[in-house]
């Protein structure tokens, strides 16, 4: 019997340019489905616990040994650098929390 296929996606945490608050979305490449998204109601960086809970509400969880990777987007030299974070995720067993 073969093991079930696990689809791995990337979850991205960034600051919304329109609101200044943090948003978390899961990039579902290769589909026309809307990407699951959670808006945090704060400009303060969400804690690891808050990010994990938001992913669970969206029906995802970090992969085993999944760690958040942080990077800067400085594509515009006249604007402040934007902080981005990403983590590899899979669908939660049992779906959304």
How far apart, in whole angstroms, are the C-alpha atoms of residue 2 and residue 13?
A: 34
Q: What is the pLDDT of residue 48?
A: 95
Name the nearest CA neighbour of 57 among 36, 84, 87, 28.
Answer: 36
Total Cβ atoms within 10 A of residue 33: 7
Q: How confident is the model at residue 53 (pLDDT cuts 50, 70, 90)?
A: very high
Can you give the pTM of this predicted structure? 0.83
48 and 68 Cβ atoms separated by less than 8 Å: yes
pLDDT in tens, 1-17: 566 667 899 999 999 87
pLDDT in tens, 4-50: 667 899 999 999 878 889 999 999 988 888 999 999 999 999 999 99
How far apart, in whole angstroms, are the C-alpha atoms of residue 34 and residue 32?
A: 6
């Amino acid at each position: 019997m073969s093991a079930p296929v696990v689809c791995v996606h990337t979850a991205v945490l960034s600051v919304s340019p329109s609101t200044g608050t943090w948003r978390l979305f899961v990039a579902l490449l290769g589909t026309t489905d809307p990407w699951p998204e959670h808006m945090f109601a704060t400009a303060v960086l969400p804690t690891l616990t808050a990010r994990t809970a938001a992913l669970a509400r969206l029906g995802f969880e970090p992969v085993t040994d999944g760690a958040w990777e942080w990077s800067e987007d400085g594509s515009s030299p006249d604007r402040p650098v934007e902080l981005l974070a990403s983590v590899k995720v899979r669908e939660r067993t049992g779906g959304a929390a």
